[in-house]
Structure 1
Amino acid sequence: MLEEQLDQMLLNRKARETGLCPIRRELYSQCFDEVIRQTGSNCAERGLLLKRIHDEMKMTIAALEKLYESSMGYSMRKAQQAEKVKSEMEAKIVELQKSKVKEMVESSVQFKVRMGITIEPLE
């Protein structure tokens, strides 16, 4: 009965079936609380143990969410740094290509002068 109610609530609230879903987490937490309540009424020790397990799960999920958020921030910073380095490297490549072309032109002119080839001015 409780499982059917949970399934119906998941459908009604349009909880996602996969991935992180706060709606699904909330409904499962409520369901777990109900199982704890029902179990605790029959056996207090089991109820307390289930409550402890549920609290530990909540703390673990909170820690994982914090870790996820932190890693997302870190990855965004790294992506920005990589983009900056990429732009700098692209500018450096253009600069080196221009200087290499200039060197090659100068070297060509010097070679032609040494070989006695006349250089006609460009029009």
Structure 2
Amino acid sequence: MNELIAEMLETTNNMIRAVKEKQFEDVVELLSFRETILKKVDEVKSAQSFFEYSPEEKMMIEETLLLDQRLTALLKEEMDTIDKILNQNKLNKRASQKYQLYSKQLNGAFVDTKK
């Protein structure tokens, strides 16, 4: 069990590294890998009737939870940054579309019928 929890801790560290390096495909792969580790841990726990984590395992789990909270904050920051970029692109697109209307009107001639 100790090896599984240590592997989960290492995977969480690798996920943080991948987010910092903006390698989001790796984050998805590591997340699915961590999920398989969690399933293995649940299988081991359910196999024993009165299962209890060792103090070392508890410390590693607490460290993993703290790292996971940090990872969540990093991902939220990245999502906010991406949202800002998308909104800016949307505004730029709208502005350029408004100016394209004027360029279409320049092809003809203006006739003043009041004079």
> Which has the greater radius of gyration?
1
Q: With structure 1 as the length reference, what TM-score do the two structures score?
A: 0.44
Q: With structure 2 as the length reference, what TM-score do the two structures score?
A: 0.47
* Larger RCO: 1 or 2 (CA < 8 Å, sep 6+): 2
